[in-house]
Amino acid sequence: MNLDKEDEMILAGEYGETRQKMMEILVALGKVFGAESLVPITSAQISGASYKTIGKWGLEWLSNLDSKVAVPSVLNPIGMPRENWQDIGIPKDFADSQNEVIAAYKRLGIRLECTCTPYYLNITNYGDHLAWSESSAVSYANSVLGARTNREGGPSALAAAMIGKTPNYGLHLFENRMPQVAVEVEAGAKYANHFGAVGYLAGKLVGNRIPLFTNIRPSRDQLKAMGAAMAASGAVALYHVKGITPETRLPTFKAVPSETITIEKSDIDELFKEVDVDAVAVGCPHCSPDELAKLAELLDGKKVTKTFYVFAAKGVKSANPEYVAKIEKSGARVVEDTCIVVSPAMDKFDTVMVNSGKAFAYVPNMCGCNVRIGTTEECVDAATK
Ligand code: F3S
């Protein structure tokens, strides 16, 4: 791989052991995937931030690093809100370990924005090269924003953050971003507009290929939900929606997949089985301001009868105090920094209702409880009946 003079010096250890290790990670990745060079990135988003997912070995690895990031970098959700973590039943020993993880990342110069929706923080533009690791954020950045990132692991995103570059392969190269399979969504399903469910089914069918949806018109929030679900039930890091996502409008876009698959309407509706639930959680991926507004409207004048968590980035929560106040007046709680899956807060419930295809895919294994999927309206009904 071609490295410039400074990169060679980093690799030789002239800027310290931590930077040397980080460069070794990037070079090893680049060699495995055939990258010819490194490409500068504009930001990094680093997973492996919850103590629930990295445990004591991850914390030990982080604690031994002693350099600073070179580009704006944020974290994926951690395992609890940084303040008032007791309110959602986080045990103290977990909180103590989580706080050590946060302190370790802070020492590295990483902004303590803990979210899977870093694109609401205005750090991403069309064509930017990124090193992001949360699968739904990767999907949104590539597909909806037209930025370019591979799905990084936590260590490779951190390595890229410290060096300010990432190996130039995979989805950083335009020729690798063309669709490989066409997807049609059969008309007539009752839940056809639940794009989390559509994405959940599509991900199972397309695996890690790049799909091109040909007959749907999702909003931005619906694209977010669909991409997150496809990245969870499959391994989709980039998708296109004809006439909607930006790269499909380029003259150089080649929309010629040889295979078409259909998402059957009966398969969509079958996901929505009514079962009793003892908690409701929305905000996977973290809520947008519009999603908070909708929840505030739906909960207006109502009282929740069971635990109802709404997950959002701290920055989005604090920029929308009126919606948050309305939601919390109902007894629901808007929780920042953490999420349905990476927090131990949901593990104690028997059955959790979600409005997210990604949470529907992950909750059984990651939280050890049953899961029901519904629309946002159905989630509010279930939480307030
Ligand atoms: Fe985000 Fe957690 Fe869902 S990281 S996409 S809220 S599983």
Region class of 16: left (phi > 0), else alpha (psi between -120 and 50), else beta? left
Q: How confident is the model at residue 325 (pLDDT cuts 50, 70, 90)?
A: very high
Average of per-residue pLDDT across 193-217? 97
Q: Which of 270, 301, 334 is the last residue of a domain?
A: 270
Cβ contact 191:269 at 8 Å:
yes
The token duo for 299 is 């909960």
Beta-bridge partners for 263: 185
The vertex-29 CA angle with 24 and 32, nearest 5°, equals 125
- What is the percent of the chain with per-residue pLDDT over 70, rounded to a whole number? 100
Instruction: Please check the confidence at residue 123 and state whether its pLDDT lies above 90.
Output: no
Instruction: Please check the confidence at residue 122 and state whether its pLDDT lies above 90.
Output: no
228 pocket-lining for ligand 1 (C-beta < 6 Å): yes
Residues 109 and 132 in one domain: yes
Residues 75 and 33 in one domain: yes
Residues 141 and 98 in one domain: yes
CATH code for position 205: 3.40.1060.10
Residues 151 and 292 in one domain: no
Burial of 40 (0-12, 13-18, 19+ CB in 10 A): middle
Testing ligand 1's pocket by substitution, the residue of 46, 132, 339 carrying the most ligand atoms inside 8 A of its CB is 339
Residues near 32 by Cβ (< 8 Å), separated by ≥ 6? none
Residues 167 and 235 in one domain: no
What is the C-alpha separation between 76 and 53, in angstroms, rounded?
A: 11
Average of per-residue pLDDT across 2-31? 98
Cβ contact 313:286 at 8 Å:
yes
Residues 259 and 295 in one domain: no
Residues near 82 by Cβ (< 8 Å), separated by ≥ 6? 102, 112, 114, 314, 336, 337
**AA letter at 367:** C
Residue identifier of the C-alpha nearest atom 6 of ligand 1: 284
Q: What is the pLDDT of residues 344-380, one digit of tens each?
A: 989 999 999 999 999 999 999 999 999 999 999 999 9
CATH code for position 292: 3.30.499.10
41 pocket-lining for ligand 1 (C-beta < 6 Å): no
* pTM of this structure: 0.96
Residues 25 and 111 in one domain: yes
What is the C-alpha separation between 259 and 245, in angstroms, rounded?
A: 20
Domain of residue 265 covers: 178-270
Residue with the two structure tokens 């490194």: 38
Residue identifier of the C-alpha nearest atom 5 of ligand 1: 285
Q: How far is the CA of 341 from the centre of ligand 1 (A)?
A: 6
Residue identifier of the C-alpha nearest atom 3 of ligand 1: 284
Average of per-residue pLDDT across 268-285? 97
Q: Which of 244, 270, 296 is the last residue of a domain?
A: 270
Residue with the two structure tokens 């990745």: 29
Buried/exposed code over 162-194 (b: 16+ C-beta within 10 A; e: otherwise):
bbbbbbbbbbbeeeebbbebbbebeeebebbeb
Testing ligand 1's pocket by substitution, the residue of 46, 78, 286 carrying the most ligand atoms inside 8 A of its CB is 286
Instruction: Please check the confidence at residue 256 and state whether its pLDDT lies above 90.
Output: no
Q: What is the pLDDT of residues 161-181, one digit of tens each?
A: 999 999 999 999 999 999 999
How many structural domains does the chain have? 3
75 pocket-lining for ligand 1 (C-beta < 6 Å): no
342 pocket-lining for ligand 1 (C-beta < 6 Å): yes
Q: What is the pLDDT of residues 278-317, one digit of tens each?
A: 999 999 999 999 999 999 999 999 999 999 999 999 999 9
Give the strand pairing for 165-167 and 73-75. Answer: unpaired
Q: How confident is the model at residue 140 (pLDDT cuts 50, 70, 90)?
A: very high
Q: How far is CA 267 from the centre of its chain?
A: 25
Instruction: Please check the confidence at residue 121 and state whether its pLDDT lies above 90.
Output: no
311 pocket-lining for ligand 1 (C-beta < 6 Å): yes
Average pLDDT, the chain: 96
Instruction: Please check the confidence at residue 59 and state whether its pLDDT lies above 80.
Output: yes
Closest CA to 205 of 180, 174, 242, 172: 180
Cβ contact 166:187 at 8 Å:
no
Q: How far is the CA of 137 from the centre of ligand 1 (A)?
A: 9
Average of per-residue pLDDT across 317-343? 96
Q: How confident is the model at residue 228 (pLDDT cuts 50, 70, 90)?
A: very high
Specify the ligand 1 atom closest to the Cα of 356.
Answer: 3
